[in-house]
A and B are shown apart, each in its own frame.
Chain A
Amino acid sequence: MTFWQTFLWFMVGGLALCAAMCIFRIVRGPTPPDRTVAIDILGVILVSMCAVVALLTGRDFPMTIAIAWSLLAFIGTTALAKHLEGRSFDD
């Protein structure tokens, strides 16, 4: 295993630690906006995890997954923010 591959596995572990911290905030968060912030950040962390997996495997299908994931994270966060504000989705 070369230095590059070892380093990429270390990156995967570090990003998994970041995702675990976000999941801790989702589970523990005292109010709904705390959980929504943590869901938003978890989406972006998983996009960077997809980029690292694309480097690790040497193929580019994880980047396609990352495109779809970033779009879905933005749409979901905006919908949850509108719901927090007390408006309905077609408002």
Chain B
Amino acid sequence: MTELVAAVLLAAGLVFNFLGCLGLVRLPDVYTRLQASTKCVTLGTCLILLAVIVATGVGSAAAKALIIGAFILLTCPTAAHALARGSYRSGIKPTPSVVDAYGDAIASECEPAGSGGNNEKA
């Protein structure tokens, strides 16, 4: 019975991982690739670690799986956010974009400081 539950969890995790990697290959842009792959792969890996907890019961492997799951849930969105910020600031624009809210935010963030500097010079 536990093996059946663990097999269902493993299959769901594999489906999420596979769809995330398919998005990584097929989508057109850095930002869309980042969005698809990060969310799907985080959930899929957490489901696989939950399957490890279900299959092995209470023990050292389950404790380690719990630690890794909490760590991945914390760090994957952080790394994705840092990557999106870094790739935007390295000059890559989202190609077919209609709205560029982060660019507007950077512009409005830099503009008062820049105009203030100009006023001080003037």
Contact residues, A8-55 vs B (CB, 8 A): 8, 11, 14-15, 17-18, 21-22, 24-25, 31-34, 36-38, 40-41, 44-45, 47-48, 51-52, 54-55
Indicate if the CB atoms of A51 and B52 lie closer than 8 Å.
yes
Majority SS at the chain A contact face: helix
Complex interface bits, A60-86 against B, C-beta within 8 A gives 1, otherwise 0:
100110110011011001101111111
When the two chains form the complex, which single residue of B24, B71, B72, B75 contacts A37, counting CB atoms closer than 8 Å? B24
Q: Is A4 an interface residue (CB 8 A)?
A: yes
Indicate if the CB atoms of B64 and A66 lie closer than 8 Å.
yes
Q: How many residues of A contact B (CB 8 A)?
A: 47
Spell out B's residues near A (CB within 8 Å): 3, 6-7, 10, 13-14, 17-18, 20-22, 24-25, 30, 33-34, 37-38, 41-42, 44-45, 48-49, 51-52, 55-56, 59-61, 64-65, 67-68, 71-72, 75-76, 78-80, 82-83, 85-87, 89-90, 92
Spell out A's residues near B (CB within 8 Å): 4, 7-8, 11, 14-15, 17-18, 21-22, 24-25, 31-34, 36-38, 40-41, 44-45, 47-48, 51-52, 54-55, 60, 63-64, 66-67, 70-71, 73-74, 77-78, 80-86
